[in-house]
Structure 1
């Protein structure tokens, strides 16, 4: 095909839209989405969205499939041990509903689905931090049909991944961006137990911070908008274009889907004008300032603008005066009755949104105000102050369809029709009907009156015409046969009675068979869950200390330290190893959780060099790392807390992939940790008891922010920013410590403990204080137990 011909084609990738409500679902459908993804009322990474019941999902699935579209359900949160039975019920329900795929993060969900609900197609969420070809290859081996790539990738990096895999690749093209690699943010959880990996993020990254007296929204990225890059993304190998926004309104969904549909359907010379029209439409979506993100290159300069507030919506201005019932400000945009605005306080607390029901020009009520002086009535006495920001978040022209109207539309959706094979025979005044629907067979005989045919005797065509009318029964006659038919007539009324009765019984049998089949799968899944152990196996409870670098290897000389955790860098390639057997046994090499493809070969060489030098223990921090060791079956692979282990199914999944141990999840609380440990069997489970938590890890460079300088939140909390190896890491001034909880962790039966002082140094005064606090089983001042005591939501 000539290049000029290729340019004439419309884009064939799937357009995938979000739906956090029924109104948004129908907005996506009417605007031209090929597929929709949505969450349930549990296990959704957008817990604050309205989300959907199982009955909703079943009806929505029928709706989309009757229109040759698709529905994906997100079960993309981390699952606690006690939630596994509910997870099984959820997977059984969505499989029964016939959804097109499940999007997941937790390998516990993967294991249960793979083993007990094999009809479910599985997509790997962007929360799994898949950012290289090795990660995608691992997904292929695990049976995933699609991977949602990390948003930190450039177009050439995506293209390289495509060249290494046949897996469907999905990538975000529009919407809010996380500052952190998805799935690796602990900021919200650290501040109050509301975990982003459990769908409850409070978005502390959107707040204002101060460094050296200068305020800025340093961790609040602009919104992704790749409207001009769709052809390049498809050429790079992306087969699904994903729009973010399950928390957004139906109006947002409608505008954004229409804009991208317009560009995707345009061809040749019409595409550029379509892009211009789409941009105008996207301005009505009330998002943040647009950026192409990393799709424009490795060092985008417009991803984060510290001077811009992190709130969504079109910025109108600041409140100049507020009374008990009126709000005054200078608006940058036209205001209409029916517009929805949000008032965002300067303190960065949660804003207040309301629909404009009264506008004033002086003392005169009006329906519309031009840009300029604005006065709006409100009912929030005493809540607003001068300096608060005003944002328009939707317009009077919003996609309007009530929840009741949406439900009425769904109720009109008939059941999905199943292929029906039917044979009809006549024998001795009886009509014998035999049917097959899937694995269900039904045979029935009906007494019928037959009369000699003077003309038009009973025929296959006549019988097929009767039985093809399935009515409300969820069948579609695909194969129809008859035996030899007598030269007789059966009254049409009787044939219709037979058809109606037979289809009623067949429908009941099919429904019962489906319920029985699903119930059997559900029971087998429940029975497979690991029970609590009455006696815990003896735990070695060895002590591993994470150090700054290999120069601190002499920490192993301490009889109280069993192992050291050493950062694996490519510098090891230039070091000849002459260490004793004890030292080799005592070293665990810690892999960086981000290894882009351009670095992969170097790390392969580093791993090979270490193994040839006699080292056999490695700590993995990303799913892709298993690919590094596929040629080295005898090494010991340990899964870090970044490889989520909140339940016994996930623990077993990591075992099956080759990990000989896991670290309990850093965000977890004591109750859930105990439940997981009590099911560990012979699998080793370690607990980190000290460390500096990487609240955010990002590929984004922050303009105007100096590494090593203290950073303060508007609440007075202190943080440190470290920039290293192309990544930005935000850490709290207060370290994480469970040293005081060591007796409780010993009692649980943990296999060992990790003391991470890599940020301090093993021989620094503070590092020595930490080791002493570990020995004495007490916490140092100004440390935090994270969620261990207070719990994780």
Structure 2
């Protein structure tokens, strides 16, 4: 087999990166202490990163920098400063979530390869086309996909010059990545900012099914699925674990390296995965890949399973047997750690020593001899030095121009002027030219890209003088609301459709006032059925939370609005949507606060929307929340579950806070906060910014709460937007359990 299969390893700190390199990783991904989605990892300093790149490249290992969070408006200047730095240090790619980075890279840093993070929730063909259009060179596919879905998307991606990457080992989130707000809602630490508090690992009051950790999945391992992944055409096999240490990283990477090499050489697999159980694990599952979503994916313990596995393997039952097994495993773990330390201790990421010697005399060129690691070269001036009483080529003039060379991957030891006569002159521009040539050669003869300064964005005017109200329904029984308001009415489409069913096409054709609202997740045939709705109904406009539907709307020249679950937080994300895909407007994320909203610049002829009332989604999953809570007789999720199941329950954490677990017909299982989001302050603060304020009148996430009078709600919200002082009190009286904490705390 000649095709390269990249083994991509995590690097939470320098030792973990070294361990990955010596274990045989083809690439590592790591983060700095800003702009990355693993704040709990140690992460790297910028000097560390430069040293890591130099070390990794010596071993033919690539380095990808994680910048996989949403970016706030005030951070754009710092982000561009960082891009200015990394574009010149040999980074092999950046991993991003925020759509605004695509705009910045495409315009100002086109040499950077951009990988779409799993946080972009990529799971259908339209999303591959979307990512190719905005400039992605690689897509990390959603972890929930099965092998058939992965193969289909990879084939399409390759047709668009996009590589695919699949997680093959490590922790599994139960929620769709990028669509989990549990940490943000509960403790103010957003997963979209790398501060996930791991609510899915939390302990809850014991459920009817007898579980304390009903959301806790086993770890992912595709160790024995390598042939199928190769057959699917996947380009990169990614190991999760940037908060894991060197011992873990080396063990897992080494095991996978051996498996890949064995398969490449012989077409056969190793049958022993014992070593994977000797480091942290929660036991293993490959059920997402197999499309077999059973109860066996769960484990009722989020802590390290390695000792329990050892007990089970040796059938240790008595206290003496267990103690002996635990002692042996502990000693083996210590031995593994010692071997890793020994293997990496000689590896250095220290800056290479840089020495620069200047020599010359009147009538001769200025000669600059440079020595730095593998580099040893000489650069001469294009004109001779001139004897002059007004000497310009002195030590201070040279140091002023050449001292910036020590800001890169080299440690400048000293300037040597012993061979340079005094009383000499040369134009400053020639000194600058020499310095640029030295920098070029030190940069492996790659042109140094000068710093970019962003032009100030224009804040364009609103499309309407006064903000309007819009509302969302999801049931035909609410169609009478069309008669009580002039507001725009969006109709929420499900996440799953019966194949070739025209139910929703018929509803939309019979009620042309309804504006289709597409969900965030549409996989497989459900995406194809959603596309049929666009093709048959041909609506004048839509709202979509799915970038695949957005791309199809762009192709069909349908006006589209980016929904709230696209996590839009800055002006450059708006520009990406408008300039690349002709987007007509966008919801601004409800995760950001008043100050973070304030300076967002609206593009020209672009609508801005904000949701002021909705159930607060915490997470959505392709797995079933009911198997571990109220219980379910089915051993696994079937195709019919999505279309038929409409269970609801609650789970209560150990602090006594309950959350609604809700499943609508045609929807994925979801968990909602016990409070509704109700933000009336934003109307006073930002009526000058937003064209439209939105309310969600679906019954999703209501749990056991009584249904409110929707006609009254509409009238009160309309009056609130018009400035009626009594409306606020009336809404407070109706919506008794609410919060808008995110508007205060932000990201």
Query: If the length of structure 2 is used for normalisation, what is the TM-score?
Result: 0.77
1:720 aligns with 2:663: no
Shift of the 393–622 alpha-carbon distance from structure 1 to 2, 3 Å rule, reads farther
1:127 aligns with 2:78: no
* Structure 2 equivalent of residue 286 of structure 1: 280
* Structure 1 equivalent of residue 96 of structure 2: 104
| Other structure's SS at 1:692 match | strand
Task: Tell me the CA shift for residue 599 of structure 1.
Answer: 2.9
* Structure 2 equivalent of residue 53 of structure 1: 45
Partner of residue 337 from structure 2, selected from 388, 398, 418: 398
* Structure 2 equivalent of residue 588 of structure 1: 515
Deviations 1:710-753 (A, max 9, x none): 22111111122223436211112322111x32542444521111
Shift of the 521–784 alpha-carbon distance from structure 1 to 2, 3 Å rule, reads farther
Deviations 1:304-359 (A, max 9, x none): 23xx2122453569xxxxxxxxxxxx99999xxxxxxxxxxxxxxxxxxxxxxxxx
* Structure 1 equivalent of residue 427 of structure 2: none
Aligned length: 650
Deviates more, 1:279-288 or 1:179-188: 279-288
Shift of the 50–579 alpha-carbon distance from structure 1 to 2, 3 Å rule, reads closer
- Give the distance between the partners of 1:178 and 1:414, measured in 2 at CA: 44
- Give the distance between the partners of 1:510 and 1:65, measured in 2 at CA: 23
Query: Residues 26 and 61 of structure 2 are in contact (CA less than 8 Å); yes or no, is this contact kept in structure 1?
Result: yes
1:207 aligns with 2:186: no
Shift of the 25–266 alpha-carbon distance from structure 1 to 2, 3 Å rule, reads same
Shift of the 441–133 alpha-carbon distance from structure 1 to 2, 3 Å rule, reads farther
Q: Which runs of 5+ in 2 are unaligned?
A: 355-361, 370-374, 387-405, 410-417, 421-429, 631-646, 720-726
* Structure 2 equivalent of residue 249 of structure 1: 245
Query: Residues 333 and 372 of structure 1 are in contact (CA less than 8 Å); yes or no, is this contact kept in structure 2?
Result: no
Partner of residue 560 from structure 2, selected from 629, 637, 653: 637
1:784 aligns with 2:728: no
| Other structure's SS at 1:705 match | coil
Task: Tell me the CA shift for residue 99 of structure 1.
Answer: 0.2
* Structure 2 equivalent of residue 549 of structure 1: 475
- Give the distance between the partners of 1:159 and 1:67, measured in 2 at CA: 30
- Give the distance between the partners of 2:144 and 2:312, measured in 1 at CA: 34
- Give the distance between the partners of 2:100 and 2:80, measured in 1 at CA: 11
* Structure 2 equivalent of residue 89 of structure 1: 81
Shift of the 287–574 alpha-carbon distance from structure 1 to 2, 3 Å rule, reads closer
Query: Residues 123 and 145 of structure 2 are in contact (CA less than 8 Å); yes or no, is this contact kept in structure 1?
Result: yes
- Give the distance between the partners of 2:313 and 2:368, measured in 1 at CA: 69
* Structure 1 equivalent of residue 215 of structure 2: 219
Spell out the pairing of 1:220-369 with structure 2 (5 A cutoff): 220-267=216-263, 274-276=270-272, 279-305=273-299, 308-312=300-304, 314-315=306-307
Task: Tell me the CA shift for residue 65 of structure 1.
Answer: 1.9
1:168 aligns with 2:111: no
Query: Residues 537 and 681 of structure 1 are in contact (CA less than 8 Å); yes or no, is this contact kept in structure 2?
Result: no
Deviates more, 1:698-707 or 1:77-86: 698-707
Task: Tell me the CA shift for residue 16 of structure 1.
Answer: 0.4
Query: Residues 520 and 544 of structure 2 are in contact (CA less than 8 Å); yes or no, is this contact kept in structure 1?
Result: yes
Query: Residues 211 and 628 of structure 2 are in contact (CA less than 8 Å); yes or no, is this contact kept in structure 1?
Result: no
- Give the distance between the partners of 1:602 and 1:559, measured in 2 at CA: 30
Shift of the 530–218 alpha-carbon distance from structure 1 to 2, 3 Å rule, reads farther
* Structure 2 equivalent of residue 767 of structure 1: 710
Shift of the 99–207 alpha-carbon distance from structure 1 to 2, 3 Å rule, reads same
Spell out the pairing of 1:440-451 with structure 2 (5 A cutoff): 443-445=382-384
Query: Residues 573 and 609 of structure 1 are in contact (CA less than 8 Å); yes or no, is this contact kept in structure 2?
Result: no
* Structure 1 equivalent of residue 394 of structure 2: none
Shift of the 177–55 alpha-carbon distance from structure 1 to 2, 3 Å rule, reads same
* Structure 2 equivalent of residue 488 of structure 1: none
Partner of residue 9 from structure 2, selected from 17, 28, 44: 17
Shift of the 114–441 alpha-carbon distance from structure 1 to 2, 3 Å rule, reads farther
Task: Tell me the CA shift for residue 79 of structure 1.
Answer: 0.7
Task: Tell me the CA shift for residue 402 of structure 1.
Answer: 8.1
Partner of residue 157 from structure 1, selected from 103, 126, 149: 149
* Structure 1 equivalent of residue 33 of structure 2: 41
- Give the distance between the partners of 2:78 and 2:70, measured in 1 at CA: 13
- Give the distance between the partners of 1:130 and 1:149, measured in 2 at CA: 5
Query: Residues 667 and 786 of structure 1 are in contact (CA less than 8 Å); yes or no, is this contact kept in structure 2?
Result: no
Shift of the 236–402 alpha-carbon distance from structure 1 to 2, 3 Å rule, reads closer
1:696 aligns with 2:619: yes
- Give the distance between the partners of 1:392 and 1:294, measured in 2 at CA: 34
Deviations 1:261-308 (A, max 9, x none): 0101114896767341xx111111211110113112243443223xx2
1:522 aligns with 2:452: yes
* Structure 1 equivalent of residue 187 of structure 2: 192
Deviates more, 1:727-736 or 1:144-153: 727-736
- Give the distance between the partners of 1:644 and 1:578, measured in 2 at CA: 27
Query: Residues 123 and 148 of structure 1 are in contact (CA less than 8 Å); yes or no, is this contact kept in structure 2?
Result: yes
- Give the distance between the partners of 2:264 and 2:602, measured in 1 at CA: 60
- Give the distance between the partners of 2:616 and 2:259, measured in 1 at CA: 43
- Give the distance between the partners of 2:190 and 2:5, measured in 1 at CA: 33
Query: Residues 66 and 94 of structure 2 are in contact (CA less than 8 Å); yes or no, is this contact kept in structure 1?
Result: yes
Spell out the pairing of 1:605-624 with structure 2 (5 A cutoff): 605-611=532-538, 615-624=539-548
| Other structure's SS at 1:696 match | strand
Query: Residues 10 and 266 of structure 1 are in contact (CA less than 8 Å); yes or no, is this contact kept in structure 2?
Result: no
Shift of the 99–684 alpha-carbon distance from structure 1 to 2, 3 Å rule, reads same
Shift of the 191–627 alpha-carbon distance from structure 1 to 2, 3 Å rule, reads same
Query: Residues 10 and 267 of structure 1 are in contact (CA less than 8 Å); yes or no, is this contact kept in structure 2?
Result: no
Measured on the aligned residues, the alpha-carbon RMSD in Å equals 4.3
* Structure 1 equivalent of residue 693 of structure 2: 753
- Give the distance between the partners of 1:577 and 1:771, measured in 2 at CA: 22
Task: Tell me the CA shift for residue 610 of structure 1.
Answer: 1.1
Deviations 1:207-248 (A, max 9, x none): 122434844311111100111111210110101000000000
Which protein shows a greater Rg?
Answer: 1
Task: Tell me the CA shift for residue 549 of structure 1.
Answer: 2.2
Spell out the pairing of 1:673-688 with structure 2 (5 A cutoff): 673-676=597-600, 679=602, 682-688=605-611
* Structure 2 equivalent of residue 483 of structure 1: none
Deviates more, 1:289-298 or 1:23-32: 289-298
Shift of the 371–788 alpha-carbon distance from structure 1 to 2, 3 Å rule, reads closer
Deviations 1:572-598 (A, max 9, x none): 457657979xx63x4210112222233
Partner of residue 349 from structure 2, selected from 392, 404, 410: 410
- Give the distance between the partners of 2:332 and 2:486, measured in 1 at CA: 59
Deviates more, 1:86-95 or 1:780-789: 780-789
- Give the distance between the partners of 1:662 and 1:441, measured in 2 at CA: 56
* Structure 2 equivalent of residue 321 of structure 1: none
Deviates more, 1:43-52 or 1:552-561: 552-561
Task: Tell me the CA shift for residue 790 of structure 1.
Answer: 3.2
Task: Tell me the CA shift for residue 81 of structure 1.
Answer: 0.8
- Give the distance between the partners of 1:152 and 1:445, measured in 2 at CA: 67
1:659 aligns with 2:583: yes
* Structure 2 equivalent of residue 603 of structure 1: 530
Query: Residues 722 and 729 of structure 1 are in contact (CA less than 8 Å); yes or no, is this contact kept in structure 2?
Result: yes
Deviations 1:11-31 (A, max 9, x none): 830000000100101000111
Query: Residues 37 and 68 of structure 2 are in contact (CA less than 8 Å); yes or no, is this contact kept in structure 1?
Result: yes
- Give the distance between the partners of 2:20 and 2:170, measured in 1 at CA: 15
| Other structure's SS at 1:96 match | coil
